[in-house]
Structure 1
Amino acid sequence: MQVAIVTGASSGIGFGCATKLAEQGMAVLGTGRDAERLGDLERAVGDPERIATIAVDLTTDDGPRQIVDAAIARWGRIDFLINNAGVGKPKPLHETDDESLDYFLGLMLRAPFRLAREAVVHMQPGSAIINITSTFAVVGGLRGGAYSAAKGGLTSLTRHIACQYGPQGIRCNAVAPGVTLTPMVASRLEDSRFRKINTEMTPYPRLGEVNDIASTVAFLCSEGASFINGQEIVVDGGWTSTKYLSDFALNSEWVES
């Protein structure tokens, strides 16, 4: 039985990835900071032989090792690592203080780096690491600030791992979601400016859903993706790769703000 570690698995994209991989027959170790919410994941999978969780702060010095040790102690192997844990609501460069900078980089770049470093020594040929980045790692993004910096660094880390460990049969790819309907995004969609930027500039007629990302991750863990390495797959309905504007945006009257 293959074993996957999924960080940030208590909600949103991480929860979707964990349940999707479990549905495909894998054993999953889900991590997060809230033990009660991780209990929801255990109940959703419903098979104690294939699900375990660990409540841990990834940014602590011993957090990554605790996670890897838990997977090895439970199942004796690690086949897939899904670095998903993240946080939103960044600020632009000039509004970002050092505390916020350190937090974003610590959670979304330093922690995945350290967790991959701990996990890769246990991985055998056919294993893979998948890093969840962002469209803001592709285009920079207004108000991206430390978030864009962290996710961009994670993209570069992805390519390094792919190059360094590919000869051992260990792949590494990134999945870059666009705006995806999760609890973290729900409040931001109440901001009309944020909503317009995403809905009126996406050529596909809906926003992203958790299953869109989870299905892409599941594919990258499958035999069908065994020759995909060092890639960043953008899942955003065409937001980053087109100059699309909706009819509403094109035909609206523009006024100075």
Structure 2
Amino acid sequence: MENLFIEWLSIDGLILFAIGILASIVGVMFGAAGFVLLPSLLLVGIPIHATVAINKFATGISSFSTVIVLTLKKRVQLKKMIPFMLIAAIGGISGAFLATRLAEHTMNIVACIVLIVMFFFLIKSKKKEVINEQPDIEKKTNLIAPFFISIYDGGLGTGSALLNITYFLKKQVSYVMAAEMTRFLMFASCTTAFLFYLFYGIVNWGVAVPVAVGSIVGSHIGLKIIPYLKGKWVEILLPIIFFLLIIQVISDLLF
């Protein structure tokens, strides 16, 4: 345990803490924490499955902290989110199970296909004027898409929050509310996926803890920034984030 404390307080630990902050800010605002976190951890030599496990731990912890805040402030009604969280939890652990049986190359191919399909869906769809801060999500949405997104999140997760945000946007939910509701789904899917990876024995606590602490800080910074994002910025930035994620996944496949 003493060695872990030394590792957490080292320069490497501070770098991981900073990576967690940046990844979580990007994750809350645009649903693309993996764009920062996964390549950063792979760059320092963490294996792909261990990287995914750390990502699930960090995102699950940071999502939980924002879920508490959003629930206490009554920004999102917990009762209405429970069915989504249950289905996301099942999807998350299912995805983790599948990931431990797939090679890294196969995982990247799946990620690439999903992101490309969603990218064209996003740029083809016309934006509808809605801004409903307390939508009746039971009538507007179903559980099928969140379930499959959660399977993907548990197995790899690159851009999974962005997929959830895009799904809610297409159901005529405001961007702020879509991002907030996504935190509930991410908490559920990431938590069950991480528990599976923990049981599987591929969690590196020396890396996971500083990244998670940074993610908690970053998630609250991201929530403060979201209300200042203008609609036109979102329309421009979301396709760009999607495109960058696709480039990242394709580069992982080719190099």
Q: TM-score scaled to structure 2, two decimals?
A: 0.30
Higher strand share: 1
CA radius of gyration, larger in: 1
Q: Which has the higher contact order (CA 8 A, sep 6+)?
A: 2
Higher helix share: 2
